[in-house]
Amino acid sequence: MECIFVFIFQFKELAQAYEVLSDPEQREIYDQYVEDALKEGMGGGGGMHDPFDIFQSFFGGNLFGGGSSRERMQRRGEDVIHSLKVSLEDLYSGTSKKLSLSRNVICSKCNGKGSKSGASTKCAGCQGTGMKFSIRHHGLSMIQQMQHPCNECKATGETINEKDSCPQCKGEKVIQEKKVLEVNVEKGVQNRQKITFPGEADEAPDTVTGDIVFVLQQKDHSKFKRKGDDLFYEHTLSLTEALCGFKFVLTHLDGRQLLIKSIQEK
Ligand SMILES: [Zn+2]
Ligand SMILES: [Zn+2]
């Protein structure tokens, strides 16, 4: 019997699936899993298992956004990642930075419907699903169906009559809003630390809003170098200083003036 297996998932999951399928040990477990699932499905008189369920149980519940069936699948918006440059002083003493960002929010006038009457027509490009499909063949027995957002309706699955479009958002369902976020950089945090603002990314209808993530990026310091939790400071001595003793003042990252002197210096 030849079994044609159709599965749909997005790029992220595809990568995850690929990892499993390309690892021989994992692959064996997976093959056994699918075989068992198919046997079970055909023996019980209830027809074959939904291939989605097989994938979902195997790769974990979050494959389709947390639900256990396709009906409950809800799209999740993209996370927005910004890099935030900070000085070594900022990381040493902690700081807080206010950043103004513009984001899409659901139009308040039409509640994200895009039309005055609330009416919309099903998008012809995707039959209202918001997704378009393309098929890729893997050998003889496997067909992979890829999904991508419909460009004709911006993945909303519906189009709006021009005359009926909402005057505030012009049928776009969302409007741009400026928002100030205060990023608190805690004292002593590491370079590349992530600071997340959950659900603050672009809003879209029927979509779980993604996060805004700031990744701290430490600027080079002219005097100090950081290695883990230690600070290194390089100071050049003259030959006389090296032989007869020295002292100098070092300004620390928090502005303190520290007197550094050699043992022989009185
Ligand atoms: Zn469409
Ligand atoms: Zn509107």
Per-residue pLDDT band at 214 (split at 50, 70, 90) = very high
Q: Which CATH code is given to the segment(s) 77-117+167-220?
A: 2.60.260.20
Calculate how far, in angstroms, residue 165's C-alpha sits from the geometric centre of ligand 2.
Answer: 8
Whether pLDDT at 225 is above 90: yes
Across the chain, what does the average pLDDT equal?
80
Please write the tens of the pLDDT for every residue from 47-74.
Answer: 444 444 544 444 444 444 443 444 456 7
What average pLDDT does the segment 212-221 reach? Answer: 96
Ligand nearest to the CA of 127: 1
For residue 164, what pLDDT is reported?
93
Distance, CA of 64 to CA of 132 (rounded, Å):
17
Per-residue pLDDT band at 24 (split at 50, 70, 90) = low
Distance, CA of 195 to CA of 94 (rounded, Å):
13
Question: How many Cα atoms occupy the beta-carbon half-sphere of 132 within 13 Å?
Answer: 12
Q: Where in the chain is the domain with CATH 2.60.260.20?
A: 77-117+167-220
For residue 74, what pLDDT is reported?
77
Calculate how far, in angstroms, residue 106's C-alpha sits from the geometric centre of ligand 2.
Answer: 8
- Determine whether 85 is exposed, middle or buried from the number of CB atoms within 10 Å of its CB (0-12, 13-18, 19+): exposed
Among 27-36, 159-168, 225-234, the range scoring the smallest mean pLDDT is 27-36
Ligand nearest to the CA of 164: 2
Beta-ladder partners of 7: 144
Ligand nearest to the CA of 152: 1
For residue 81, what pLDDT is reported?
95
Q: Considering the chain, what percentage of its residues have pLDDT values greater than 90?
A: 52
For residue 140, what pLDDT is reported?
81
CB 168 within 8 A of CB 110: yes
Calculate how far, in angstroms, residue 110's C-alpha sits from the geometric centre of ligand 2.
Answer: 4
